[in-house]
Structure 1
Amino acid sequence: MSDWTPKLNPTVDLRRLPLNAEEGFVLSRLDGHTREKDLPALTGFPPDKLRDILARLVSQGALLPGTETASAVNTVRQAAPQEADHPAPSVDASDTEPLPEAEASDGSDDEASSADDVPEAVLGDFRKLFETRLHGLPEDQRAALAHGAEDPELSALCFDPVPAVIKAVLENSRVGLTHARLIARHHRNPVGLEALVARAAFASDTGVRRFLVRNPQLPVALFRRLWAMRRLMEHHKLTVDRDVPEQTRRTARELLRQRFSTGPSEEKVELILNTEGRALGALVGMPVDGKTTSLLCGRTYRSPMLVQNIARWSAAPPALIAHLLKQELVRRQPQLRMMLARHPNAPADAKRA
């Protein structure tokens, strides 16, 4: 087989194509980086049969045609010419602006998006296969089938609402992350979700976690177990994610406050700076330790939004208020100085001024 890397055609709506189960399954295994010669190991199809399926997908417009060579295939992003010719200058961390909240990601969401988003048309094929051919079977027969099923039936059984069937799917030797992500996204029984998380390799996967926290049937106790020791920024992202059910968001806010009181100082500073102080609204009355104060006072501030949010934070330490009052940004903007001067922890001379 060739070194061609099959890639989805972004201009074609896969839902409108007459894909069969085999074609839909192969599409679900494409990530835009895996070469044709490596796909038999991922799909279980012999090379000749896989080549025919790929040819049909190209002819239908689902895949981009191409004759890429091995040298052109690279899963590591190459530096653009201007980056190679002009390396980025070093930056003093103490003198940088905080990232806008949308840009402050640790990359885990992007990683999940690229790894676990099965095309909706393919999901529809799996769901249709379950509803038309498998759902009518007795529960014990579906469970027995799940133990030894191959794809696409194995992926279709991930839509089964019965925990016993999901447990059987998870015991299948062919089960992988794609199936785990389908279960996390579509299964609606807490017992089945508990069985999924019992597999450590699945529970630690970014895509599985992303779908679990958006699953309305995720038990609070299970969420706490999964998220208790995550970084403060990850807790905050859940509290503002509208795709996360309100019950999970409420628990995330509780965990955020608990973790803020005991977490590392570096994470507290990261949270405050990368959200430009927006996260402080959920941390009313939560003081910070001396190390956190020292780290915050070691920076130059150029963001009016960040200064405003700190000025509204009742627990802002006196040393931080005094440090902000010395900033060039504050000296140039009287309204910022007035907000800081009115803070209960402001220095006495600032209040008199």
Structure 2
Amino acid sequence: MSDWTPKLNPTVDLRRLPLNAEEGFVLSRLDGHTREKDLPALTGFPPDKLRDILARLVSQGALLPGTEAVAPVNTVRQAAPLEAEHRAPSLDASDTEPLPEAEASDGSDDEAGPEEDVPEAVLGDFRKLFETRLHGLPEDQRVALAHGAEDPELSALCFDPVPAVIKAVLENPRVGLAHARLIARHHRNPVGLEALVARAAFASDTGVRRFLVRNPQLPVALFRRLWAMRRLMEHHKLTVDRDVPEQTRRTARELLRQRFSTGPSEEKVELILNTEGRALGALVGMPVDGKTTSLLCGRTYRSPMLVQNIARWSAAPPALIAHLLKQELVRRQPQLRMMLARHPNAPADAKRA
């Protein structure tokens, strides 16, 4: 098989295509990065059959033609998500870019790995298969079927609302990350979600975690267990993500405050700088330690928004207020100097000026 990387055609509405179950299943496994020669291991189809399915998908317009240039394995596009996840935090305020609310509300804890959603048309096929053929079976038959099912029935059973069926799906030797993501996204019983997270490989997957935090039935205790030690920036993103249920957002705010009081100074500085101080609104009354203050005072500040938000932060340490008053940005903008001078921790000479 070739090094061609099958990619969905963004100009085609998949819901209008006459896809069969095999074609829909293959589409559900495409992430835009996996090459054709690697797909047999991912789909379970032999190479010749898979090639025929891909050819049909191209002819129907579901996939972009395979004449495009194929990127090397280690392309910038593939490496970028890993860099985003593992790069060192930017602690220099002079280099800090504003973090738009749209980006801050991502809620994906900086994990931009291979977690593209299954196309809605394919999801609809799986759901329809469950509702029309499987849902009417007795529960014990669905459990027995789930233990040995193959796709597309295995993916369809991920829509089952009964935890016993979900547990059977998870015990199926053919179950993979795609099934785990379907369960995290669509299962609405806390018992089934607990069974999913009990599998460490699934609990650590970025796509599973992404869908779990958006699941309204995610238990608070389970969320705390999964997210207690995540980075402060990840907690903040959840607190502003409108796709996350309010209960989970509220717990994320509580965890954010707890982690801010005990977390590493570098993470505190990362949070303040990378959100331009927006996160400080959720940290009212939370003081910072000496190391955090020292790191903040070792920066040059060029963002008016960041200075304004620090000036509104009642717990801003005196040394940081004094440092900001010396910045060229503050000297050139009287309104910023006035805001800092009115801070309760401002130096006495600044208040008299």
TM-score, normalised via structure 1 length? 0.91
SS at match of 1:210: helix
CA distance in 2, matches of 1:71, 1:229: 36
| Cα contact 1:277–1:310 (8 A) shared by 2 | yes
Deviations 1:203-247, CA, capped at 9 Å, x for gaps: 111111110000000000000000100000000000000000000
Q: Is 2:274 the partner of 1:278?
A: no
Say if 1:79 and 1:269 are closer, same or farther in 2 by CA, change over 3 A. Answer: closer
Say if 1:92 and 1:335 are closer, same or farther in 2 by CA, change over 3 A. Answer: closer
CA distance in 2, matches of 1:92, 1:352: 31
Deviation, 1:30, is 1.1
Structure 1 window deviating more from structure 2 (67-76 vs 16-25): it is 67-76
Deviation, 1:99, is 5.0
Structure 1 window deviating more from structure 2 (88-97 vs 302-311): it is 88-97
CA distance in 1, matches of 2:113, 2:120: 13
Say if 1:75 and 1:133 are closer, same or farther in 2 by CA, change over 3 A. Answer: farther
Q: Percent identity?
A: 96
Deviation, 1:6, is 1.5
SS at match of 2:169: helix
Deviations 1:147-168, CA, capped at 9 Å, x for gaps: 1111111111000000000000
Deviations 1:68-96, CA, capped at 9 Å, x for gaps: 57676655449999999999999977665
Structure 1 window deviating more from structure 2 (331-340 vs 100-109): it is 100-109
Deviation, 1:7, is 1.4
Deviations 1:98-131, CA, capped at 9 Å, x for gaps: 6556567999667547424111111111101111
Deviation, 1:33, is 2.2
Structure 2 residue ranges without an equivalent (≥5): none
Structure with more relative contact order (C-alpha pairs < 8 Å, separation 6 or more): 2
| Cα contact 1:33–1:74 (8 A) shared by 2 | no
CA distance in 2, matches of 1:134, 1:4: 36
State the Cα RMSD in Å. Answer: 4.0
SS at match of 1:33: coil
| Cα contact 1:212–1:218 (8 A) shared by 2 | yes
Say if 1:345 and 1:70 are closer, same or farther in 2 by CA, change over 3 A. Answer: closer
Aligned length: 353
Structure 1 window deviating more from structure 2 (61-70 vs 100-109): it is 100-109
CA distance in 1, matches of 2:154, 2:253: 37
| Cα contact 1:101–1:276 (8 A) shared by 2 | no
| Cα contact 1:235–1:253 (8 A) shared by 2 | yes
Structure 1 residue ranges without an equivalent (≥5): none
CA distance in 1, matches of 2:325, 2:117: 48
SS at match of 2:344: coil
Say if 1:81 and 1:337 are closer, same or farther in 2 by CA, change over 3 A. Answer: closer
State the match for 1:27 in structure 2. Answer: 27
SS at match of 2:98: coil
| Cα contact 1:163–1:189 (8 A) shared by 2 | yes
State the match for 1:83 in structure 2. Answer: 83
